[in-house]
């Protein structure tokens, strides 16, 4: 079975967030930079369901793990 590669916007859809380019940029600008000591899923702006999705995808090294890593990196950059 071949791995599935998800787009950044699809992750925002999965998280129940607006997924157009402007909304994604605004979300990252509003919440970045996250402190290096804070795990992505522990950020205070996630709902419990969103945090669980992020945590589970990384722990399971699931299809979504790569794009979750991309989100993590994007949120670590200075706004």
pLDDT in tens, the chain (79 residues): 455 678 999 999 999 999 999 999 999 999 999 999 999 999 999 999 999 999 998 888 778 899 999 999 999 998 6
Q: H helices within 1-79, ranges in order?
A: 8-14, 21-31, 48-59, 65-76
The whole-number pLDDT of residue 3 equals 56
For domain 8-76, the question of CATH label 3.40.50.2300 is answered with no
On the CB side of 18, how many CA atoms lie within 13 Å of its CA?
9
pLDDT at 78: 85
Q: How far apart are CA 18 and CA 30, in angstroms?
A: 14
CB-CB neighbours of 27 under 10 Å? 19
> Domain ranges in the chain?
8-76
What gap in Å lies between CA 37 and CA 27, rounded to an integer?
20
What's the pLDDT at 5?
Answer: 73
- Cβ contact 66:72 at 8 Å: no
């Amino acid at each position: 079975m071949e791995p599935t590669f998800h787009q950044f916007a699809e992750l925002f859809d999965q998280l129940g967030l607006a997924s157009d380019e402007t909304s994604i940029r605004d979300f990252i600008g509003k919440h970045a930079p996250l402190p290096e000591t804070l795990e992505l899923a522990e950020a205070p702006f996630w709902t419990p369901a969103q945090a669980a999705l992020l945590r589970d995808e990384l722990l399971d090294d699931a299809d979504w793990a790569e794009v979750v890593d991309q989100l993590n990196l994007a949120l670590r950059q200075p706004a």
